[in-house]
Chains A and B, each alone.
Chain A
């Protein structure tokens, strides 16, 4: 609790003690004097209510008549007046304000607490960067570090700026960024992104970006902006609150004046002014719109925070609302469903051991920096002794011929083989083939393809189980595309698309949807940026994706895991359910209590529950949106 909250807690306690004490003291102590009786209550009343009155008066003078301060001041003053008229019963008047203050205090505390909880979740902002100056480590403002500076990150510290490791080995905790709890090992040469926590060893990092351009700053900006984009529900609620308070105030006024007049003038009965006035007061107590106005944004805020913790950055509550209605998910193939890097996926028809064939291929291609030779080297996995390779001839667009351990090794496509007059065996699987010939004899081929992500199939299945139509788009050839789609269980696939064709396809699907159904597009590449902005919700793969895609997207998946698409949808659905629960609950209880109040069936205590109780329950319910790990 902060200072102000503590002060309020003391005021509440003192008021409660005085009121209880005053009400248990027997009347004989006052010697029958109503004035003496009044004094302790009046003191308690002033202690608890003075600021409400002050603010209510202040607001009236500024032309802001109908707000909750006014309601409370008026209601409690009314109750106090009734107390004076009846037999000196002031407890209710004090209770009204007392519980209003308890509610306010709780609201303040709960909001503060949840604000802090959620901010802590997303607290990845580094405060400083270490640089070496004259043999000593100096802490500097990360904003002042120029690109290319060497910074030092010690165990337990956050990496402040994106860069490349120059020296040192360590494990990084990336959970705040990606939601991935497995630590990532890094060594010299590894690229590292800011916001990760260095866990084990000291790292020297050469920065590749300015602080303002670094991952951590960008993410923080996204999150800051996220809760500013308001959803339909939030707009609805703030509009509702704007009309609601004056309506209730006028209704209360009507309730206090019209029925007694009708009873008197038309029905010829006793007016019962105090009875109707009491009902009007109950109206005013019930009416406070705080719970309503608070709980909707709070729920979204918690939902965005919870999703962020899972490595899903949702850029606004409006997108949460849209995600919850997702019906079509259109996915780009490369980088989204597949890893977007070439990997050796098979060695076929090899005359020698597969490993040996790979070794020869890797050695023959060791001088090349072509992605294919890189994937060969990676598949081989061990250090290559380049002295075993001589006479390398690169055949551009065809392959390589080299001498390895004295054998002539040819590695390349079918064009190279036909050039050498070697018959090669075609492959029935889809991908890029590296045919191998050793000493002029065909030795088999190595299949290299863009591999499907481990979780893609599961992700597609989960979405389909949840009634979502999955569509795959790709710029790749038809055969590759259809093969991948088949393996993933996707039936709708469009291939050989240029970026503008993708936009057209997404627009087609958008035209096709009905009612509230929404269309998601998931992509990663720079060429996806226009498509991302066309779809109802654009989802970008964040870790590998380009900055343009991340900026154009509405949702960013930090760890590139397609399973997170479905998770984002489920988190949004949970959040929207809570939002609706809170709206229905808060408005429902209030309306019921208002009706009961008008009928004379509600007392002040029920009214207080309708105000404070609803608030407490709504806040607790909103906090559920924070816990989405197992949604």
Chain B
């Protein structure tokens, strides 16, 4: 189980909440917390997940809910 923190960019608190929901529901993610104030996202990956691959999916899902958001990884 690995936990990583990523810097993100998002416009508003509502969008941050949407990103969190989107990230949480991505396969390979056990837990995701978006911190709007610090502009970061903490992701806990499931065992054996390829973080790079999962993060690509997370970004894709986040873009579905908020087109402007960015995740740096």
Binding site for B on A (CB under 8 A): 55, 58-59, 62-64, 67-68, 104, 107-108, 111, 115, 118-119, 224-225, 227-228, 230, 238, 241-242, 289-290, 293-294, 297-298, 301
Contact = CB atoms under 8 A, between A and B. Distances in A.
B36 A297 contact: yes
A236 to B, nearest CB: 12
A227 B38 contact: yes
Contacts of B40: 224
The 3 closest A-B CB pairs, nearest first, are A301-B37, A293-B13, A294-B13
B41 to A, nearest CB: 9
Contacts of A68: 14
A107 B13 CA distance: 10
B65 A293 contact: no
A297 B65 contact: no
B35 A107 contact: no
B42 A228 contact: yes
A228 B67 contact: no
A574 to B, nearest CB: 18
Residue among B5, B12, B37 facing the most chain A CB atoms (10 A cut-off):
B37
Interface string B33-73: 10111111010000000000000000000001101100000
Contact of A115 (B38, B64, B67): B38
B40 to A, nearest CB: 7
Contacts of B30: none
Nearest to A108: B11
A59 B13 CA distance: 17
Contacts of A238: 17
Contacts of B65: 62, 64
Contact of A289 (B14, B36, B68): B14
A293 B17 contact: yes
Q: Describe A's contact surface by its main secondary structure.
A: helix
Contacts of A241: 14, 17
Nearest to B65: A64
Given A115-B39, A290-B12, 5 more contacts: A104-B11, A228-B42, A241-B17, A289-B14, A290-B14
B38 A224 contact: yes
A396 to B, nearest CB: 51
B36 A59 contact: no
6 contacts: A67-B14, A107-B12, A115-B38, A228-B42, A290-B14, A297-B13
A495 B11 CA distance: 55
A289 B68 CA distance: 19
Interface in B1-32: 5, 11-14, 17-18
A290 B39 CA distance: 17
Contacts of B42: 225, 228
A293 B12 contact: yes
Contacts of A58: 67
A242 B16 CA distance: 12
Contacts of A118: 37
Contacts of A111: 36-37
A321 B24 CA distance: 25
A574 B24 CA distance: 32
B6 to A, nearest CB: 12
B13 A290 contact: yes
Contact of A55 (B14, B38, B39, B67): B67
Contacts of A107: 12
A241 B11 CA distance: 16
B71 to A, nearest CB: 16
Contacts of A227: 35, 37-38
